[in-house]
């Protein structure tokens, strides 16, 4: 509408348009026990992909498109270039032991692509096998992207600061990471205790 008014001069003024309120982004995560049940229900090639996603927090596209040129097993790192990252910035991934083990199992299967099936690069993960595995594991309302939510939720629940999580996950906006803040009650409780201490000193002095 602005272009029609200011650039193309098709209309005299920009009408006021009431926008619909955007829904809040959902945060769906599963427990380690549920994750174990899901991994056990998946076929081997998908199990390794899901395990790698849970171990790194990488988005689906970055996992399935991962190339060996993006991996350094000696330094235990992987990286996603800015043009392949949703946030438009490079993502540096520190690989934990499980992530390294997954990559070691893929060695020699394909010269370029990390994750393959019967010699061909994997393109899709939201398959019938994935949906059937969810049913067998008794997990409902769960998407592949929720593996990333699960990774972030586990880190926050175990004391990872929001700023560090933002760097690890490659989120451009801090607001995107704050949606996990409610999962860190123990961390917030320490800050709340500061006020408790001050009030107790004040009440004692009176």
- Known catalytic residue at 47: no
- In 3D space, the residue among 71, 145, 84 whose CA is nearest the CA of residue 115 turns out to be 71
- Known catalytic residue at 68: no
Would you write out the chain's pLDDT as a tens digit for each of its 206 residues?
888 888 888 888 888 877 666 555 668 899 999 999 999 999 999 999 999 999 999 999 999 999 999 999 999 999 998 888 777 778 899 999 999 999 999 999 999 999 999 999 998 898 999 999 999 999 999 999 999 999 999 998 888 888 888 888 888 888 888 888 777 766 666 666 777 777 876 655 55
Among residues 59, 130, 149, 151, which one is catalytic?
Answer: 59
Q: For residues 77 and 91, give the distance between their C-alpha atoms in angstroms, rounded to a whole number.
A: 10
Report the predicted TM-score, pTM, of the whole model to 2 decimal places: 0.78
- Known catalytic residue at 180: yes
- In 3D space, the residue among 11, 101, 1 whose CA is nearest the CA of residue 54 turns out to be 101
Among residues 29, 148, 149, 154, which one is catalytic?
Answer: 148
- Known catalytic residue at 3: no
- Known catalytic residue at 179: no
- Known catalytic residue at 113: no
Contact in structure between 184 and 156 (CB atoms under 8 Å)? yes
- Strand ranges for 46-118 from DSSP E: 71-72, 77-80, 91-94, 116-117
Among residues 28, 45, 145, 187, which one is catalytic?
Answer: 145
């Amino acid at each position: 509408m602005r272009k029609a008014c200011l650039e193309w001069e098709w209309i005299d003024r920009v009408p006021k348009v009431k926008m619909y309120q955007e829904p809040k982004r959902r945060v769906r995560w599963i427990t380690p026990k549920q994750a174990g049940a899901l991994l056990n229900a998946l076929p081997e090639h998908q199990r390794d992909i899901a395990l790698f996603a849970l171990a790194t927090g990488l988005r689906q596209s970055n996992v399935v498109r991962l190339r060996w040129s993006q991996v350094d097993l000696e330094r235990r790192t992987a990286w996603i270039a800015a043009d392949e990252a949703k946030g438009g910035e490079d993502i540096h991934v520190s690989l934990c032991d499980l992530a390294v083990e997954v990559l070691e199992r893929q060695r020699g299967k394909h010269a370029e692509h990390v994750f393959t099936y019967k010699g061909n690069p994997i393109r899709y993960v939201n398959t019938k096998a994935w949906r059937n595995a969810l049913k067998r594991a008794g997990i409902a309302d769960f998407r592949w992207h929720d593996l990333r939510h699960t990774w972030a939720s586990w880190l926050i629940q175990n004391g990872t600061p929001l700023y560090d999580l933002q760097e690890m996950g490659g989120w451009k906006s801090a607001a995107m990471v704050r949606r996990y803040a409610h999962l860190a009650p123990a961390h917030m409780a320490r800050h709340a205790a500061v006020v408790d201490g001050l009030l107790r000193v004040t009440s004692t002095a009176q």
